[in-house]
Amino acid sequence: MDTRSSGMSPGLWNSGIDGLSEGLSELIGQHSPSGWKNLLSAARKRGERYFLIRRGVSYGTLKKLRQLPIFREGQYKGGLIAQPENRRVLPNNDLAARTIGIISTLEEGPKVGLEASFDNELAGKNGKVLKQRLTGGDWIIVNNARSVEPVDGNDIVTTINLEFQDIATAALRNQLRKHNADHGCAVLMEVATGDIKAIVNLKRSSEGSYIEAYNYAVGESTEPGSTFKLPALMAVMEDGLADTSDIVDTGNGMVRFYNKVIRDTKEGGYGKLTLKQVFEKSSNVGTSKIINQHYKDNPRAFVDRLYSMHLNRKLDLQIKGEGEPLIRHPGDKLWSGLSLPMMSHGYEVRMTPLQILTFYNAVANDGKMVRPRFVKAVIRNNSIIREFGTEVISGSIASKSTIRKARKMLEGVVEHGTAMNLKDAGYKIAGKTGTAQIAHDNTGYRSGHTIDYQASFVGYFPAEDPLYSCIVVVNSPSSSVYYGNLVAGPVFKEIADKVCSTTFYREFPVPAPDQKVQRIPDTGNGYMADIREVLRKTDAHFETAKVGSWVKTREKGDTVSIVPLELDERLLPDVRGMSLRDALYLLENSGVNVEFTGRGRVRRQSPEHGTRINEGMRVTLLLDV
């Protein structure tokens, strides 16, 4: 503080010193109000220009300091000198880090992700100050009438659900480790809105750990393999050239087109299949024969139909770095007689995981294709200044009849096709497996003496009334297992299971009417008097030891056990299971700043309980819904 700031009048000092001292005692501590008043008065008497109040205060505390008497007159009159220290704070560690864009430090490296895309909104405006160099080389801000205060940037509200993001990250990371894969991604999208609820991109580092290093879901355009069979077979149905009941002879599982032999994975082949079965069993032979038979004399019609379903265009995302889709057209210099049969099962085409997911999401959404959304709003001081609604790319990518057949085919893949391992009694999944050989720039589909594979699964759930669509892609698993249903499918299933469990979509057996069901109220954890009142009003049995004001509850058969919540004023309390009201009371009385997402009871807190409390600490709460 500059206690002798040229704009600070004696009248301002005398009228404001008591209020300033009280505020400093409350915000900074260390001294009583009278103690602060004595220190400041002595410093002013000595004419100190740089009286140190406190190092390392949080930005939230600084904002409160600027509202205190004297200080609120501004730097020139009030004398408050704030020396900034910039730090990156990652309250959720590396969750969605590449998408959010908090990889580089403030001073080094390019901005990425949403941070780069919304840089103009987030950046704010720099201020201007005069600095003086002190003995020893340190610089300090000098009060000056021409100083300009900085302007805070705006905030953005993303669509990401922290709990879903946590679920997807853990599921993908565990599977990548299990198969020692090079990299992978997983994306969870809300069907109706296109909101990206979770997006994970993990790459194996030189140390063997998996880190967010590149946004594969958005930027990596590869040959998708069998997941492309859906648009291929939808094209032939939409053009009225084939139907799901048409018979295709896949023979012994091999078919030759010119010098290329296309094979099915089943030894000896599948023999005769319907078109629907061709899709469910992911027959390369059947798919290529269907597409070649109906389009060999007019390949342009096939490609034009794919184009009409918006498969050849970028999605124009809110985030930078989208990969370019590639679907060749007859007449391109690389088009050949092999192009049709190869394209039919996902080769000679290139798409990003998010582009594939957007197509499948449209099928789940009764044909309506919506643009993936990462950001819902831009806000300033908790007021919305700009909103982003759901954008429709296409009102219908195909007829209702074709969409209906496509959805039945996708359900069949899980019910009795290549993804039967994902079948669940509680809810239905619809989707498609994908296993593609990876083409390398110099060596084609071989890397040395081995072939690298990309395993994928894309679909939606619940199948009857889709709420979420999801894609999982695992690149170059090093074990002998590389099929989409076994490598990517389990990640999809784990995400779907936990999302359904969290959001109460899953159906469980209901007791018969004559069965007696003990109804115990869900009291959670919290304030003892409130919990006891609820239990008494519902006639629930409960047992309690000697407890204080704050408790935890546990079900023991048909009885609720109440145990004390251990509190230490130096450590963060455990507020999981509490109402937001109780959690805020405990945390704010511990001297921390609190942010929360959702409604209901506290499901997760970060940092974890038991963490030592620091001045200016920020705690994030994730609620049930």
Mean pLDDT score, 29-36: 90
Amino acid at residue number 84: P
At 5 the pLDDT is 78
Say if CB 496 and CB 429 are below 8 A apart. Answer: yes
Of 357, 321, 314, give the one whose Cα is nearest residue 103.
321
The yes-or-no verdict on residue 104 having pLDDT over 70 is no
Percentage of residues in the chain having pLDDT higher than 70: 81
At 464 the pLDDT is 94
Mean pLDDT of the chain: 85
The yes-or-no verdict on residue 508 having pLDDT over 80 is no
Amino acid at residue number 565: L
DSSP-derived pairing of the beta strands 155-158 and 375-380: antiparallel
How confident is residue 132, by pLDDT bands cut at 50, 70 and 90?
A: low
Q: At 457, phi and psi to the nearest 5?
A: -145, 135
Amino acid at residue number 223: E
Mean pLDDT score, 493-509: 73
- For 319, counting Cβ atoms within 10 Å of its Cβ (0-12 exposed, 13-18 middle, 19+ buried), the class is buried
At 224 the pLDDT is 96
Count Cα atoms within 13 angstroms, Cβ side, for 330: 15
Least confident range of 59-68, 217-226, 349-358, 535-544: 535-544
Mean pLDDT score, 282-307: 98
At 323 the pLDDT is 96
Say if CB 244 and CB 276 are below 8 A apart. Answer: yes
Q: Residue 249 belongs to what H/E stretch?
A: strand 247-249
Ordered DSSP codes for 113-146: HHHHHTHHHH--B--B-EEEEPTTS-EEEE--TT
Written as six digits, the tokens of 389 are 């609604």
Distance CA 622, CA 154 (A): 23
Mean pLDDT score, 12-41: 91
Distance CA 531, CA 522 (A): 10
Q: Residue 595 belongs to what H/E stretch?
A: strand 593-597
How long is the chain?
625
How confident is residue 105, by pLDDT bands cut at 50, 70 and 90?
A: very low
Beta carbons within 10 angstroms of residue 88's beta carbon: 9
Distance CA 224, CA 435 (A): 8
Q: Residue 27 belongs to what H/E stretch?
A: helix 10-27
What are 359-362's contacts with CB under 8 Å, separation 24+?
359/230, 359/231, 359/309, 359/310, 359/311, 359/397, 360/227, 360/230, 360/410, 360/431, 360/432, 360/458, 360/459, 360/460, 360/469, 360/471, 361/189, 361/191, 361/194, 361/460, 361/469, 362/394, 362/397
Of 174, 593, 190, give the one whose Cα is nearest residue 371.
190
The yes-or-no verdict on residue 505 having pLDDT over 50 is no
DSSP-derived pairing of the beta strands 618-623 and 593-597: parallel
Hey, CA dihedral for 29, 32, 35, 41, is it positive or negative?
Answer: positive
Tens digits of per-residue pLDDT, 417-447? Answer: 999 999 987 899 999 999 999 876 655 665 5
Beta carbons within 10 angstroms of residue 364's beta carbon: 26
> 268 vs 105, which has greater pLDDT?
268
Distance CA 358, CA 309 (A): 11
Least confident range of 67-81, 87-101, 409-423, 465-479: 87-101
In degrees, rounded to 5, the angle at the alpha carbon of residue 368 between the alpha carbons of residues 362 and 372 is 60
Say if CB 199 and CB 231 are below 8 A apart. Answer: no
Ordered DSSP codes for 67-119: TSTTGGG-HHHH------------TTTTTTHHHHT--S-SSSS---HHHHHTH
Mean pLDDT score, 287-300: 98
Give all domains of the chain, ordered by start, each with its CATH number: 1-85 (no CATH), 162-503 (3.40.710.10), 526-623 (3.30.10.20)
At 544 the pLDDT is 62
The yes-or-no verdict on residue 190 having pLDDT over 70 is yes
DSSP structural state of residue 451: -
Which stretch, 60-69, 182-191, 206-215, 552-561, has highest mean pLDDT?
A: 182-191
The yes-or-no verdict on residue 514 having pLDDT over 50 is no
Tens digits of per-residue pLDDT, 530-569? Answer: 676 666 656 666 666 555 677 777 766 667 777 778 888 8
At 551 the pLDDT is 77
Rg (CA), the chain: 31
The b-or-e profile of 97-129 (16+ CB within 10 A means b, else e) is: bbbbbbbeeeeeeebbbbbebbeebbeeeeeeb
Q: pTM value?
A: 0.69
